[in-house]
Chain A
Amino acid sequence: MKKIAMALLLGVAVYSTGVFAADVDQQQVVKQYSVLVSASYQDSLSSARDMQGKINAFLAAPTPETLKAAQAAWLEAREWYGQTEAFRFYGGPIDSETGPEGFINAWPLDEAYIDGVKGKPKAGIINGKSAITEAKLRSLNERGGEENIATGWHAIEFLLWGQDLSRDSAGQRPFTDYTTAPNAKRRGEYLKLVTQMLVDDLASVEKEWQPNQQNFRAQFEQGGNDSIKKIFTSLGTLSRGELAGERIEVALDTQNQEDEHSCFSDNTHRDIVSNAKGIQNVWEGRFVRRSGEVVAGASLKQLVAQKNAAVADAVSSDMATSVKNAEAIVAPFDREIIGKKDAPGRKRVQAVVDALKNQTKNLVEAAKALGIKRLNTSV
């Protein structure tokens, strides 16, 4: 008797969602996720290589124009890297015990650890004496404190823009820092090397997600429910702990420029948008590539909708709101966070935090619909 009732219930559930979309299973969702991750890292890697080309061109012939081109390439590459951050926080190739995440995107960075700053022109590794080698920089990264960052996106950013000392613009590093300034040659060596290291680190991650290899992807696709849980952990943690929390709420609370993510280039508003989009990509199983090609297939959203259509809709709508609110932030972010609670800028930034919190709450519910009890949403 009970069995029949159960069968009927299941039948109804399948029927009601089946009207709108073909049923998807766990395995299809995990596989589509792998396709999306792989494409995302390919695009991140190719944009980073383009940036490397512009940086090398700048170092070969430093002028205001070549510096500007290198900066533009950094900004473009960040759009693609930002979307891949939705693949973190579960010990995958990017942030496993041996993963390179700490070398790629560690922040905030103590500028004086790398190069001279206002009031301390002789500070940093560049103005020191030891040879600038990959082994040296890797050993110095995060030594004696998490802020002692020697490598990655933000080191490159600092070397291209310099300190942001002005209210209305990003850092104004002169190209002469690479020609006539003290230690110009060492500065150039440093920039060239950390750029190469970033490209290498991204390539190592990209490789782990290539199809039909003996790599992380192969294991991940065999992971079943565990892999689904990882996908959720990643989305929840980036939404709440990392993006809403560490990257936005801390800055809102301290109103301090040092707490903004890309503080030298004033690109924090775009970091937020690309992170929010990355989360949405995973949920929707859809990614618009650099080439314009659309990668789409079985999604987490569909999988959840089969169990609880209301919660799936709520997550989808929250994510759309997050992206929309993130796009509404007016650059520069470091001015947006200043003021009283009802300052228009602060309200715009707070709206992003609120949307991200909502989406996280509903993601926890969505995970529950798939039988995942204790979802980590913070780091």
Chain B
Amino acid sequence: MNKTFGLITCLLAGSVLAFEGAALLALYDPAEEAPGGEVGTIDDHGKNAFSLPYPGLSDRQKTDFVVGNSFFKKAWVEAPSSTTARDGLGPHFVAQSCGACHALDGRGAPPDFSRGLQTDLRNPAEQPMSLLIRLSIPGQPNPQPDPVYGGQLNNRAIPGVKPEGKVHIRYEPVRGQFADGTPYELLKPTYSITQLAYGPLHKDIMLSPRIAPQMIGLGLLEAIPEADILANATRQRAEGKGIAGQPNYVFDDFAKQEMLGRFGWKANVASIAHQTAGAFHGDIGITSRINPREDCMPAQKDCRRAPSGGTVRQPEIDDKTLNQVILYSQTLAVPSRRAPDSAAVLRGKQIFSDANCVSCHTPSYQTGEFKAIPQLAGQTIFPYTDLLLHDMGEGLADGRPDGRANGRQWKTPPLWGLGLIKTVNGHTRLLHDGRARNMLEAVLWHDGEAKASKDYVLKLNAADRENLLTFLNSL
């Protein structure tokens, strides 16, 4: 048995020819080398792999990009201060800059517990920085914010104002094994909030943890025609494999209408503009034209009394700067693939397809018209997502509805750039709360609609598990 595997592996490494039915290789498509299309792909595979602009930007856009970048990564400070361009932090906040969570425009991770942190429930040692906790109580038609704490926990505050509370995470091992007997262990997190500053949370409180994802290719995702996303749902139904993607529809602050949700872990945001203004307000406490008032709840008197860096007429971030950060967030390039034509990658690609991962992680699209950045139109891109909601099973469920998403559904995240998270951010924590310590764990958490795909992976031999990972790492 082992000998056979050895033989296949040798063949895979040495040749791209299929081996007599046992190790079919997917076809190589040269277009995949540039997942962001000609306009949106760069060749940097180092620490800056997620930080470069689309090469197809105009010079004016490049200037907006660098200014936007500056406001994305530099820290905001409390008002009043001499650094007038960036004052207005808080009063409550999660981070001081966008870059604090999206470090190097990449992905966040929960605190590293390997050093024994988070053992004392009353005094959690290290607070998560890039993992925020949405708070809500049941309501119609949508969940409502907690009446005292609002819609998200702010575990930091400016001096003189109390942080709302501290996040506590406890992990329990969940063990299982592959069909060949190889054991694995997953970590199941439980979240609680301690050191509450303004009294107890509502008795029906729902907590939804969400980690900061990498920022690449977001404008290209916005440029995918809505009809193509909806067609994914139709196709999945027609395939009859138990996969039933659902679009989310959400109100967009900029378009002032309900739109198809594309961003966020529950597809609960329709545009990058809305996401950017929302994150400034919710995560850093920066007011804008869209969110002109500080995010202080009625019972939070210290928060309401604290000085603001702006007024309703002149918010803390002006429109011009906000637009520059929006453009920046839309135009971070997608890194080109690494060795996409190698035998191991093509074998992994074949497995990815055979396991039906491609149904939801839909490989490719042709972008449509995009008014904000016209040159994004007509690009062949490879994001590996259907941008739809799926029931992912009880293990991943947070039980918290969001727009039309129920408490078991999550949006299929794009997979482009996946293999470079380690290079850029130094970790491989995946899924909506970073519970998976690597790609294989992320696959094994899949359940619900994705159960058949996971079961397929559980039956793979060690060599093909490795090939699948090699493919994912090449994205």
Contact = CB atoms under 8 A, between A and B. Distances in A.
Partners in one complex: yes
Interface of A: 89-91, 95-97, 108, 110, 118, 144-148, 233, 240-241, 245-246, 249-250, 253-254, 256, 258-259, 357, 374-379
A258 B85 contact: yes
A250 B42 contact: no
A2 to B, nearest CB: 26
Contacts of B75: 110, 145-148
B230 interface: no
Interface centre among A89, A90, A254 (most CB of B within 10 A): A254
* A interface SS class: loop
Interface stretch (B59-67, B106-114, B446-454): B59-67
Contacts of A357: 59
Interface centre among A96, A233, A259 (most CB of B within 10 A): A259
Given A146-B99, A378-B53, A246 B66 contact: yes
B473 to A, nearest CB: 16
A108 B52 contact: no
B100 A144 contact: yes
Contact of A97 (B41, B46, B97): B46
A146 B423 contact: no
A246 B95 contact: no
Contacts of A246: 66, 69-70
Contact of A374 (B43, B59, B82): B43
A241 B65 CA distance: 9
A249 B67 contact: yes
B85 A254 contact: yes
A378 B66 contact: yes
Contacts of B73: 145-147
Contacts of A144: 95-96, 100, 129
A117 B48 CA distance: 32
Contacts of A241: 52-53, 66
Interface in B29-61: 41-44, 46-48, 51-53, 55, 59
B69 A146 contact: no
A89 B74 CA distance: 20
B289 interface: no
Nearest to A108: B74
A89 B66 CA distance: 16
B97 A146 contact: yes
Contact of B70 (A89, A250, A374): A250
Nearest to A163: B82
B52 to A, nearest CB: 6
B86 interface: yes
A241 B53 CA distance: 9
Interface residues of B, number: 36
A32 B59 CA distance: 33
Given A146-B74, A259-B70, A240 B43 contact: no
Contact of B84 (A108, A233, A245, A256): A256
B43 A376 contact: yes
Given A374-B42, A376-B55, A254 B99 contact: no
6 contacts: A96-B47, A97-B46, A147-B96, A249-B63, A258-B74, A376-B55
B4 interface: no
Given A144-B129, A259-B85, A379 B51 contact: yes
A145 B99 contact: yes
A97 B85 CA distance: 32
A144 to B, nearest CB: 6
A250 B66 contact: yes
Interface string B83-100: 111100000000111011
A245 B37 CA distance: 24
Contacts of A379: 48, 51-52
B47 A97 contact: yes
A145 B97 contact: yes
Interface centre among A89, A146, A357, A375 (most CB of B within 10 A): A146
Contact of A256 (B47, B52, B83, B129): B83
A69 B52 CA distance: 40
A101 B103 CA distance: 16
Contacts of A240: 62
A263 B66 CA distance: 19
A258 B43 contact: no
Interface in B379-431: 423
B74 A147 contact: yes
Interface centre among A249, A375, A378 (most CB of B within 10 A): A378
A91 B45 CA distance: 9
Nearest to A246: B66
Contacts of A254: 67, 70, 85
